[in-house]
Amino acid sequence: MNKPTPERIFIAGHRGMVGAALVRALHARGDCELLLRNRDELDLCNAAAVDAFFAESGIDTVYLAAARVGGIHANQAYPAEFIHQNLEIANAVIHAAWKHRVQRLLFLGSSCIYPRAAPQPMREECLLSGALEPTNEPYAIAKIAGIKLCESYNRQFGTDFRCLMPTNLYGPGDNFHREDSHVLPALIRRFHDALQTDLPEVRIWGSGTPLREFLYVDDLAAACLHLMAQPRERLAPLITPQRSHLNVGSGEEVGIATLAMMVAEALGYRGHISFDRSHADGTPRKLLDSSRLRSLGWAPAVPLADGLCHTVRYYLDACAAARQELANAKTTIGTTTATGTRATAIPSLRH
Ligand code: NDP
């Protein structure tokens, strides 16, 4: 008897934090064939290249985890890149998925694309109900366009393109860039740097009062697989053709000041923590109502304290590996070149 052909799954952005977690989750499931392409092999902003890739690959399922992503600083410094690249990626991948008869696609929005003053906890229907947070408006507009692309292809062509709206994510593979990262990896880096340099005080950007929800990235990957495994009929009562996204969050809310203390403790930093109010806070409170997704049987498994420890361990290991790589490079090619390669020697920290 012929063996059934395994599902062919394209994970766009598989080297990113979410993409890598999806790879781990799908490998663990072990019943599919993963198609993975680096940015240098396939630029997802290049619609012609994306089309050619889909035409030759026989893809059944797409997880679209590629995007230009960053924290407040990056969003404000590079607004053109955030709107342009995210629109291009969504346009190219979603259109090719329709054209080449992909059976199911998952697009990821973000809780930060809900209106700034949305009632908390935020329900799915509050999308497009008010003004956006100005610091990330270009990113939000592109992400909303991605959701609307999915819905429009579903409405016109009967495709099965689904959308999840994740809260703030964190975990192994996060971006620890000094300025471009999100709050949690940025805190890990700042406290670690302070420890390394015996800094007596760490100043945190903003007032420390905003409340945030965090979801460990492996919990998100489990949620993605869970949603994609649902038959259409099970989703039907939860969504409408023009409100098809489902929230995904942990439900665990924490103040930035408390988070800073948790990070300091996880790293063993004993100095003083202060707050620099000259930096923008962003949205004052951001908590998702994830009851619709939870009614389908998904629940988060990793509490913040545990996820934080895993992430700190990942960061410390990545730093140690980077130091080792740097030492090896110095021994083999001399100090001048080794210093020049520092940025590429620490890819997981994305200097
Ligand atoms: P990362 O920055 O970790 O990963 C993004 C990935 O996309 C990278 O692998 C990057 O490739 C790839 N990529 C970007 N542009 C291109 C391109 N033009 N061609 C090919 N590949 C490209 O992001 P996350 O994993 O954190 O985010 C994944 C998704 O989850 C995004 O849609 C984001 O909006 C969403 N999300 C993330 C949240 C978070 O807190 N991080 C919160 C809510 C939603 P390369 O490795 O070459 O740079």
Q: In terms of residue numbers, what domain contains 41?
A: 7-319
Q: Which of 114, 139, 170, 314 is catalytic?
A: 139
Question: Is-contact 347 338, C-beta < 8 A?
Answer: no
Q: Is 80 exceeded by the pLDDT of residue 243? A: yes
End-to-end CA distance of the chain: 52
- Whether residue 114 lies in the annotated active site: no
The answer to whether residue 350 is domain-embedded is no
pLDDT at 281: 77
pLDDT at 342: 28
pLDDT at 333: 65
The answer to whether residue 343 is domain-embedded is no
The answer to whether residue 346 is domain-embedded is no
The answer to whether residue 158 is domain-embedded is yes
pLDDT at 85: 98
Mean pLDDT value of segment 120-128: 98
Q: What is the CA radius of gyration of the chain?
A: 21
Higher pLDDT, 311 or 343: 311
If you average pLDDT over every residue of the chain, what do you get? Answer: 92
| Mutate-to-test residue for ligand 1 from 46, 64, 69, 212, highest number of ligand atoms within 8 A of CB | 69
The answer to whether residue 336 is domain-embedded is no
Cβ(166) – ligand 1 distance below 6 Å: yes
Mean pLDDT value of segment 232-254: 97
The answer to whether residue 49 is domain-embedded is yes
CA of 283 to the centre of ligand 1 (A): 22
The answer to whether residue 166 is domain-embedded is yes
Q: Is 80 exceeded by the pLDDT of residue 329? A: yes
pLDDT at 345: 35
The answer to whether residue 349 is domain-embedded is no
| Token couple for 136 | 């990330």
Number of domains, the chain: 1
Question: Is-contact 128 242, C-beta < 8 A?
Answer: no
Mean pLDDT value of segment 227-242: 98
CATH number of the domain encompassing residue 309? 3.40.50.720
pLDDT at 337: 43
pLDDT at 32: 97
Mean pLDDT value of segment 328-342: 55
